[in-house]
Amino acid sequence: MGVSTLLPRSRFRVQLTHASTEKQPHKDGKPFSEYLKEKCPRLADPEKAFYFPPWYMPNGDMQTIYLYTQHYKPAGCPIDYERQIFEFSDGGKAAADWALPRRSAAPDAPLIILVPGIAGTSYDYYARSFIHCVNQQSLGYQVVVLQSRGCNGVSLVTPKAFHGGMTSDLREFVEHIAETMPGIPLIGLGFSLGANILAKYIGEEGDGCRFIAAASVCNPYDIDMTVSSMCMPSLKNRYLYAAALTRSLVSLFTNNQKIIMAGGVELDASRITASRNINEFNEEYTIKVFGVSSVKELNRSGSCTLFLKHIQIPMLFINALDDPMCYRETIPYGEFESNPNLIHASTRYGGHLAFFEGTYLSPWLPNQLAQFIQAMVEWNQATGHVGSAASAHLKESPQSQIQATLTSSIVA
């Protein structure tokens, strides 16, 4: 007997936070939140929107740890990708993995641009389970996973890797897609740190954003508070979450040390590799390479909370309140209540990017995201709203210099 059978049903209801219905955008006389209630009942209908964690895996730590054991186990949701090596205007490169099958028979099929978490890849379970869900439901969408520089087998070619508020790479990629695939609806989907980058980018773009809609999952919102909490000297941070994230960053440095150290910025390799937490790594590497005055400023300026008020497209945010990596204290409820384009959904359980349910640990999250995206595609078709400015003239940009080359398929 587990937590879901002992506690009242109301404890497992998905809680929504949004602006008043009078302020929300409307379709067929229905406000945004009412439209989602009809189209996404397990997310937005108070009578049906519940998330029950597995009885034997009720807390966020257990779910999060289990999720990370699944990242390199393709059984259940095997996904094939076609890899694109994308070159940015400064010469840097990153992998954009296109999920197969590509929907070449429908050139106007919506394209979902997925931004993974810190050092995340297209192999990660949350990415594969979502794409598997989209394929199983035959929704006809295209999905591309844009990974950060230096990740998933693509070495750095410049000293700069990435940081939590770096939106320039996403901007260049979206502009390239908008120019090479004009007229197709674009949807953004971000996870963890990728959710912060996505939301910050959309806020920066304002009414010129090329996405028609977007979704954010387990967003940290306030990077300084999140990272500072993860740097506290607890056993959990020392041996689990902060330690794992720091190791991934240090590995990125050591795997690319030659090109980084040749970049003309004075760095101490021994101090970088000895970093015990994310702030120490950012102090020794990130702020120096990116020319930021301090780690505090890097975290502050990179937090998406500052930009939520400027988002002009429908955007869904999902957080679990027991997330052990992105804390409930960082959720900016006031921003969701004041910006009519935003809806926040919170679950009491679910961990970090996990959200498993049932005896066999089925993923709850992919279906909710797929339903939301389908609802937004229909909303866009009905209202004629183009948040991505796709019908407007293309922005002047340096993207004509961007090169993209295809390499062989990979299997995740």
Residues annotated as part of the active site: 192, 323, 352
Q: Contact at 8 Å (CB) between 13 and 46?
A: yes
- Spatial neighbors of 202 by CB under 8 A, at least 6 apart, are 188, 209, 211, 214, 307, 311, 313, 315
- Spatial neighbors of 160 by CB under 8 A, at least 6 apart, are 90, 92, 149, 263, 289, 290
**Residue recorded with tokens 């005055």:** 293
**With helix as H, strand as E and coil as C, how does the chain read?**
CCHHHHCCHHHHECEEEECCCCCCCEECCEEHHHHHHHHCHHHHCCCCCECCCCCCCCCHHHHHHHHHHCCCCCCCCCCEEEEEEEECCCCCEEEEEEECCCCCCCCCCCEEEEECCCCCCCCCHHHHHHHHHHHHCCCCCEEEEECCCCCCCCCCCCCCCCCCCCCHHHHHHHHHHHHHCCCCCEEEEEECHHHHHHHHHHHHHHHHCCEEEEEEECCCCCHHHHHHHHCCCCHHHHHCHHHHHHHHHHHHHHHCHHHHHCCCCCCCHHHHHCCCCHHHHHHHHHHHHHCCCCHHHHHHHHCHHHHHHHCCCCEEEEEECCCCCCCHHHCCHHHHHHCCCEEEEEECCCCCCCCEECCCCEECHHHHHHHHHHHHHHHHHHHCCCCCCCCCCCCCCHHHHCCEEEEEEEEC
Paired tokens of 289: 């390479």
Burial letters for 192-217: b for 16+ Cβ neighbours within 10 Å, e otherwise?
bbbbbbbbbbbbbbeeebbbbbbbbb
